[in-house]
Amino acid sequence: MSDKRVLVVDDEIHIVQVVAIKLRNNGFDVITAENGAQALELTCTKHPDLVITDFQMPVMTGLELVENLRKRPETAELPIIMLTARGFAIEDEKKKALKVSACLSKPFSPREVLQSVQEVLGLHAASPA
Amino acid sequence: MKGLAEQAGQMERRAADLALANQLLQKQKRGAEAILYSIRDAVIVVDSFERVVVANAAAEGIFSFRLDRTASRPVAEVINHPEFIGFVGQIRRNGQEHVKHEIVLRSGKDARSFDCILSCVKDDKGEVTGVAAVLHDITREKEISQAKNDFVSHVSHELKTPLASINAYAEMLVDGEAKDETSLEQFCSIIQSQAQRLNRLIEDILNISRIESGLVKVSKQPLSMAILIRDAVEMIRSYAQEKSISLHTPQAIIFDQVYADKDMMSQVIINLLSNAIKYTPQGGSVTIGCEVHDADGKIRVSVTDTGVGIPPEAMDRLFEKFYRVEANKNVAKGTGLGLNLVKQIVETVHGGRMFVASEAGKGSTFGFELPLAAGRPVEVA
């Protein structure tokens, strides 16, 4: 079990839900947001240990969210995993510059998301439920 | 004397023959020039000194010059396009044939793309005597190809979204992540609803593409608009009741017949009604109106709601494929294809016209105009 808090951001409610259930079933504390603006606010008030965000969202895109997070000292190093429906939506250089820990393309596997979260947070894989 | 007279006669005949041959040649030359001049592609020929010797109307148009005022001047002085001039010189020096380049011509904000095919003109001995260039406007082809690429990339994104849900929830079931009966049911129902969404998307895309390519089967018949509206309202009534939205329907009109495809027109009315209900909050109202304009032989159907409305900046893009109003995305789900399909059915298939009026926060009116089926007998369903 982990006491880590993960923020999941996607405008597709089903996607948010499936990632949240997978992580909660594996001991994570999960909070959710449906766009970048909401997510930005939650990072200030709820201080997650990691953010998983979609790329294309209304109001504020995933990329804008990451750029905004990097501008603030308190979230400048916050680990981020991106989900994207377009394989090449974010170039490697940009990924590096924005310190995006991992990029997973949709359709994605909740198993891979969990594994990626564990790797990024430096946790050992939990025994299968 | 006799000999001289004969010679004089022969000379006269020869002169007459030559005059005739000359006339014929002049006629052929004018004919060839007329053909050259009427070709839509631009044709320019320069001689071995790179002086413009032939240019048709299209060439004069795209490069803005007049051959009769610039003939025999070097091409570089006549045409202000260094890239093109460079190609002409290169081809002439190298003696090449059929070399193709793409060039862009700009005038103000307008930019047009051309396929430019250049070839050396050679004499009997194989010496280069000039260069011929043909420019074919490919701007439209490039736009179509770009639109196709955008469409494919948009479609794949839209298809991947429900597919991502189906894939993820199926894996969750396999991994035993549904910890109780309720979760199990929920996961299965999400998979089902996302599969249906995927199917609707594919159906809409296919329907739009069939209409656009002219492959759609249309069976038009005389129909009463009032009956079409009545049936559509009945189909949609329970949806309106779920949201406590009142539905107001028009009084029957005596002559309201159109010549149309029944299934397609039903789809149009149902789509407009369900959109109106979808974007209207609980307790609102949706009014469907139907007016006949005898003077111009048209029938006008409108659906007015008291819903969220559309911001002015979004009005021009409402009928674009996959376009969804940013501010209203959270109000309801949609593919962004419904209104495009409606417009295609009304305008492309039935020769009608769509119209829309809206005020953000107050509501919208969507509707269409169709020609009345003048004098055709009517089948009453």
Provide the ipTM.
0.88
| Contact between residue A88 and residue A67 where contact means Cβ atoms under 8 Å apart | no
| Region B189-204 average pLDDT | 90
SS3 assignment, position A83 = strand
**Residue in A59, A86, A109 nearest the CB of B171:** A109
Q: How many Å apart are CA B357 and CA A92, to the nearest integer?
A: 45
For the stretch B256-295, pLDDT in tens is 889 999 999 999 999 999 999 999 999 999 999 999 888 8
pLDDT of residue B189 exceeding 70: yes
Q: What is the pLDDT of residue A129?
A: 44
Cβ distance A109 to B194 less than 8 Å, yes or no, reads no
Shortest CA distance to B116 belongs to which of B49, B38, B47, B63? B63
Q: How many Å apart are CA B49 and CA B130, to the nearest integer?
A: 8
pLDDT of residue A127 exceeding 80: no
Q: How many Å apart are CA B125 and CA B175, to the nearest integer?
A: 81
| Region B214-236 average pLDDT | 90
For the stretch A50-100, pLDDT in tens is 999 988 777 788 888 999 999 999 999 999 999 886 654 567 777 777 888
| Region B93-116 average pLDDT | 89
What are the φ/ψ torsions at residue B350 (nearest 5 degrees)?
-115, 5
Residue B381: pLDDT band (50, 70, 90) is very low
Q: What is the pLDDT of residue A118?
A: 95
Helical H segments across chain A, by residue range = 13-25, 36-45, 62-71, 92-97, 110-120
Cβ distance B172 to A21 less than 8 Å, yes or no, reads yes
B125: DSSP letter: T
Q: What is the pLDDT of residue B152?
A: 82
For the stretch A13-53, pLDDT in tens is 899 999 999 999 999 999 999 888 899 999 999 999 999 99
Interface test mutation site (partner B, options A11, A14, A38, A105, max chain B beta carbons within 10 A): A14
Helix (H), strand (E) at residue A9: strand A5-9
Instruction: For residue A108, list chain B residues with Cβ-Cβ distance below 8 A.
Output: 164, 167-168
Interface test mutation site (partner A, options B152, B157, B163, B198, max chain A beta carbons within 10 A): B157
pLDDT of residue A125 exceeding 90: no
3-state SS string for B288-303: EEEEEECCCCEEEEEE
Q: What is the pLDDT of residue B253?
A: 65
SS3 assignment, position A32 = strand
E strands of B235-328, at which residues?
Answer: 246-248, 257-261, 285-293, 298-305
Q: What is the pLDDT of residue B377?
A: 47
Q: Is the dihedral of CA B56, B58, B59, B63 positive or negative?
A: positive
| Contact between residue B136 and residue B105 where contact means Cβ atoms under 8 Å apart | no
**Residue in A14, A25, A106 nearest the CB of B160:** A106
Q: How far is CA B180 from CA A22, A83, B95, B173, B185, in A?
A: 14, 28, 80, 11, 9
Question: Which residues of A make CB contacts under 8 Å with B?
Answer: 11-12, 14-15, 18-19, 21-22, 25, 34, 56, 58-59, 85-86, 106-111, 129
Q: What is the pLDDT of residue B380?
A: 47
| Region B173-191 average pLDDT | 94
* More confident: B126 or A88: B126
Q: How many Å apart are CA B346 and CA B265, to the nearest integer?
A: 8
| Contact between residue B286 and residue B247 where contact means Cβ atoms under 8 Å apart | yes
Give me the residues paired with residue B133 across strands: B44, B118
Residue B67: pLDDT band (50, 70, 90) is confident
